[in-house]
Amino acid sequence: MSFSDVLNSRDKYMLNSLWDIHENLILRKDGSVSAVYRIPPKVINSPDFKGKEQFKESVYTTLSSLRDYHDFEIAMIPMDQDIFPRFEKIALDIDWEDGAAPLAEYLLNGMVEKLYDSLGTIYEYVYYLVVPLKSIHVSIDLKSVVGQGYRSLRNSTLSLLGFREQVPSNWYEKYQHQEKLLKSTLDMLDAKRVSTGENIFIQRLQFLRGMVVDKETEITFVGDNMENVDEVNIEFEHVNIMKFSNMDEVSYVAALPIDTLPENVSYLHLQEEIEKLSFPVETRFKVQFSTPNGIFSLPNKAKRSRRRLKNTMDEADEADDTQNVSVVRSRFLLEDLKEKVDEDVPLVSYLNTLFVTGSTIDVLKSRIDILFSVFSQLGISLVRANADQLYLFYKNRFTEVLTKSDRNFIQPMSLEGFCENLFFMTKKVGTDVGFPIGRIDYQSDSWQGDYKAAIAASSTPVYVNLLQANKQGIEGKVTNNPHVGVTGETGSGKSYLIKLLFYITVCSRCNVCMLILNEKSEHNIKRYSMS
């Protein structure tokens, strides 16, 4: 068997495609280069309808400016929320020479234990945006494309033989100007360049989904040799369930692509719905702008669909049959698409895949069932894609782009409709560093007093630090106002919460003097003294 036969097998896309990483730039073995950015999520709570609409417009404006780059990808990754550094920052305020220091330590340790006992895995979602600065699939320089194609074949062959080509020195310098232009384009979303370490870690994390990992260890492991990025054992259990093994860690992973969407995606807000789930779900979007020409362009696909639809309608007319409702609806949708093409509205095709993990097969199946139920209520068709699990896993790696061979599970849509997924947002209450006092309630309706059900339905802790506003140099802090407002129905525990925060703050900060005034209590004292 020749090397070309080997490389044309399905194993080709399973080879490690990364060649080098420098800060937020990634060099692939085919010579293409991508830039990676972390997008800080905008805090928008459920009732803020106006805020959501305004933010979707900002996202649309930013993403539409990426049209010349042809491709981009969005990832929402559940990251382990290491709470120990948070509590270490709180511990800095403790006067360890004070006699009450043991009580403060006892309180903090108890909070950490209760958090892990009640939640197990504590995570937070982090958004990443990846844009190719140079792609083998899109280039106006034919000589460059041929050269990249040869390099890709050569590097793949060397990889099979166990050899490596030396990484070009200072390869990233020629892309720094282009990267700066891209960064300025993304300023509306406050995009942050990832560091080399963070870049390496998120590449490695793709192969360690659902596992407990040491971040620094994995960064060093891959930093020493880029070929270690995919060092993991992948096997199948029960025919179609992927099992990942790394050292003593085992995780079961399912890749679930979206097959069909509602015809009207207005206010779909898919990312918001996923954040409401009580277990982590990773979402990946591989997006490609449609070109005006070409057999696979959306305009040409629409023309072929209109032709087939016209034949169907003509046949129905000849047979004196009434038109099927779905046929009539399809006609209007195609006409709407034609108008968008004529008006040069940005159109995209994208692959949306959800990754769910479980420590056991039963846990994984339970989470899959919940996802299918939630998506069914949203009018979204999610599929198991048993035969495509390995393909979906490798296709959704960072820097992979859609090609002509990717035809399954592809969603054609206007960019405006795509932004209805409501990207780069989160719900947040409280502070980044503080004492855990509860969890975020994602349900807009009342729980009718069933607080246990409300707690069980959420996995997002709320941290509060009454003295955080007085601190300087806190990233993301926009005010020095120390006032805290607590609202709620009568008898819902507002006074209890304030007293609890007061006592926790006093007991854990031995070098702080505080005074609490409760208007309700003061009024009662005056009333009783007058009687």
**Domain extents for the chain?**
3-75+122-287+346-426, 84-117+464-530
At 514, which amino acid appears?
Answer: M
φ/ψ of 241, rounded to 5, equals -110, 120
- Write out pLDDT tens, residues 489-531: 777 788 888 888 887 777 766 556 666 666 665 444 444 333 3
Please enumerate in sequence order all residues whose Cβ is within 8 A of that of 84, keeping only pairs 6 or more positions apart, or say none.
Answer: 112
Which residues are CB-neighbours of 408 under 8 A, at least 6 positions away?
257, 385, 388
* Helix pair angle (325-342, 298-318), 10° resolution: 150
The average pLDDT across 465-483 equals 65
Residue 269 Ramachandran class (φ > 0 left, ψ -120 to 50 alpha, else beta): left
Mean pLDDT to the nearest integer, 281-306: 74
Q: Whole-number mean pLDDT of the chain?
A: 82
Alpha-carbon gap, residue 54 to 84, rounded angstroms: 36
For residue 477 the two structure tokens come to 């802090």
Q: Which amino acid is at 481?
A: N
User: Which has the minimum average pLDDT: 11-25, 63-77, 342-356, 386-400?
Assistant: 11-25
Rounded mean pLDDT, 417-443 = 88
Share of residues in the chain with pLDDT > 70 (%): 74
Helices (H), 22-83: 49-64
* Whether pLDDT at 273 is above 60: yes
Token duo for residue 82:
């290491």
Kindly indicate the confidence band of residue 171, based on its pLDDT and cuts at 50, 70 and 90.
Answer: very high
* pLDDT tens column, 17-65: 999 999 999 999 888 999 999 999 999 988 889 999 999 999 999 999 9
Instruction: Name the amino acid, one letter, at 340.
Output: K
Residue 515, pLDDT score: 67
In the prediction, which pLDDT does 401 show? 95
Q: What residues does 146 pair with on adjacent strands?
A: none
What pLDDT score was predicted for residue 9? 45
pLDDT tens, residue by residue, 228-251? 999 999 999 887 899 999 988 999
**428 against 391, higher pLDDT:** 391
Q: What is the pTM assigned to this prediction? A: 0.84
The tokens for 141 are 């320089």
pLDDT higher than 50, residue 88? yes
What is the pLDDT, as a whole number, of residue 142?
A: 38
Least confidently predicted of 150-159, 183-192, 504-513: 150-159
- Give me the residues paired with residue 43 across strands: 426
Q: Tell me what the mean pLDDT of segment 426-452 comes to.
A: 81
Stronger pLDDT, 293 or 440, i.e. the higher one = 440
Instruction: State what percent of residues in the chain have pLDDT above 90.
Output: 47
With beta carbons less than 8 A apart as the criterion, state whether 135 and 401 touch.
Answer: yes
8 A C-beta contact, residue 141 and residue 148: no
DSSP 431: -
Q: Give me the pLDDT at residue 45, please.
A: 84
DSSP 430: B
Residue 324: φ, ψ to 5°? -65, 140
pLDDT surpasses 60 at 14: yes
More confident residue, 506 or 267: 267
Length of the chain: 531
In 279-337, DSSP assigns E strands to 281-289
CB 266 within 8 A of CB 419: no
CA-CA distances (angstroms) from residue 66 to 59, 60, 73, 354? 11, 10, 11, 24
Q: Are strands 25-28 and 192-193 parallel, antiparallel or unpaired?
A: unpaired
**Angle at the Cα of 275 (from 272 to 277), degrees rounded to 5?**
125
User: Rounded to whole angstroms, what are the CA distances from 333 to 303, 306, 350, 420?
Assistant: 12, 10, 18, 17
